[in-house]
Chain A
Amino acid sequence: MSSLIKTNASGELGLQAMPHPQTHGTAQTKPRKSRWPARLDVLQSATGLILAVFLMAHMFFVSTILISQQAFYTVARFFEGAYFFARPYPALVSCVVAVVIALFIGHAGLAMRKFPAGFRQFNAFCRHKNRFHHSDTSLWWIQAWTGFALFFMATIHLYDMLTQPALIGPFESADRVWSGNMWPLYLALLFAVELHGGIGLYRLAIKWGWLEGSDPQRSRRRLAIVRYSFSAFFVTLGLVTLLTYIDLGRAHADHAGERYIPPQSISSVDRR
Chain B
Amino acid sequence: MIPLLRHGKPDGQPRRLTLEILRHNPADPASVPHLQAYEIEEAEGMTLFIALNEIRAQQDPSLMFDFVCRAGICGSCAMLVNGRPGLACRTLTRDLGERITLAPLPVFELIGDLSVNTGKWMRGTSERLQTWIHNDTETDLDAFETRMEPATAEAIYELDRCIECGCCIAGCGTVQMRERFVGAVGLNKIARFRLDPRDTRSDEDFYELIGDDDGVFGCMSLVGCHDVCPKQLPLQTQIAFLRRKMALQGMR
Task: Report which A residues bind B (CB closer than 8 A).
Answer: 30, 32-42, 113-114, 116-117, 121, 124-125, 127-134, 136-137, 140, 203, 206-209, 212, 216, 220
State which of A114, A121, A133, A134 has its C-beta within 8 Å of the C-beta of B220: A114
Closest partner residue, chain B, to A204 (CB atom):
B221
B247 x A42 contact (CB < 8 A): yes
Interface membership of B104, Cβ < 8 A: no
A121 x B224 contact (CB < 8 A): no
B220 x A140 contact (CB < 8 A): yes
A33 x B83 contact (CB < 8 A): no
Q: How far is the CB of B222 from chain A (nearest CB, A)?
A: 5
State which of A114, A206, A209, A220 has its C-beta within 8 Å of the C-beta of B244: A209
A35 x B236 contact (CB < 8 A): no
A125 x B211 contact (CB < 8 A): no
CB contacts (< 8 Å) of A137 on chain B: these are 173, 222, 224
CB contacts (< 8 Å) of B222 on chain A: these are 134, 136-137, 140
Instruction: Give the distance in Å from the alpha carbon of A41 to the alpha carbon of B236 in the complex.
Output: 17
Instruction: Give the distance in Å from the alpha carbon of A134 to the alpha carbon of B177 in the complex.
Output: 16
B223 x A132 contact (CB < 8 A): no
Closest partner residue, chain A, to B227 (CB atom):
A134
A38 x B234 contact (CB < 8 A): no
Within 8 A of A (CB), among B234-251: 234, 236-237, 240-241, 243-244, 246-247, 249-251
State which of B84, B221, B250 has its C-beta within 8 Å of the C-beta of A206: B221
CB contacts (< 8 Å) of A121 on chain B: these are 176-178
**Total contacting residues, chain B, CB less than 8 A:** 36
Q: Quick one: given A33-B212, A128-B176, are A136 and B223 in contact (CB under 8 Å)? A: yes
CB contacts (< 8 Å) of B177 on chain A: these are 116-117, 121, 124-125
A132 x B224 contact (CB < 8 A): yes
B211 x A33 contact (CB < 8 A): yes
CB contacts (< 8 Å) of B212 on chain A: these are 33-34, 37
Closest partner residue, chain B, to A115 (CB atom):
B177
Interface-centre pick from A121, A128, A134, A203 (highest chain B CB count, 10 A)? A128
Instruction: Give the distance in Å from the alpha carbon of A113 to the alpha carbon of B84 in the complex.
Output: 27
Known: A33-B208, A38-B207. 13 other contacts (CB 8 A): A35-B249, A35-B251, A37-B250, A113-B213, A116-B177, A124-B177, A125-B173, A203-B220, A206-B240, A209-B241, A212-B237, A212-B240, A216-B234
Within 8 A of A (CB), among B149-181: 171, 173, 176-178
CB contacts (< 8 Å) of B249 on chain A: these are 35, 38
Q: List 8 A-B contacts (CB under 8 A).
A: A33-B208, A35-B251, A37-B215, A125-B176, A129-B173, A136-B227, A207-B219, A216-B236
Q: Quick one: given A125-B176, A206-B223, are A38 and B171 in contact (CB under 8 Å)? A: no
A41 x B217 contact (CB < 8 A): yes
Q: How far is the CB of B96 from chain A (nearest CB, A)?
A: 14
CB contacts (< 8 Å) of A206 on chain B: these are 221, 223, 236, 240
B237 x A209 contact (CB < 8 A): yes
CB contacts (< 8 Å) of B83 on chain A: these are 130-133
A209 x B217 contact (CB < 8 A): no
Q: How far is the CB of B14 from chain A (nearest CB, A)?
A: 28
State which of B106, B178, B220, B252 has its C-beta within 8 Å of the C-beta of A128: B106
B236 x A220 contact (CB < 8 A): yes
Q: How far is the CB of A131 from chain B (nearest CB, A)?
A: 3
Q: How far is the CB of B102 from chain A (nearest CB, A)?
A: 12
CB contacts (< 8 Å) of A38 on chain B: these are 207, 211, 217, 246-247, 249-251
Interface membership of B80, Cβ < 8 A: yes
Q: How far is the CB of B221 from chain A (nearest CB, A)?
A: 4
A131 x B80 contact (CB < 8 A): yes
Q: How far is the CB of A212 from chain B (nearest CB, A)?
A: 6
A39 x B251 contact (CB < 8 A): yes
Instruction: Give the distance in Å from the alpha carbon of A121 to the alpha carbon of B173 in the complex.
Output: 10
Instruction: Give the distance in Å from the alpha carbon of A207 to the alpha carbon of B222 in the complex.
Output: 9
Q: How far is the CB of B106 from chain A (nearest CB, A)?
A: 7
Q: How far is the CB of A252 from chain B (nearest CB, A)?
A: 46
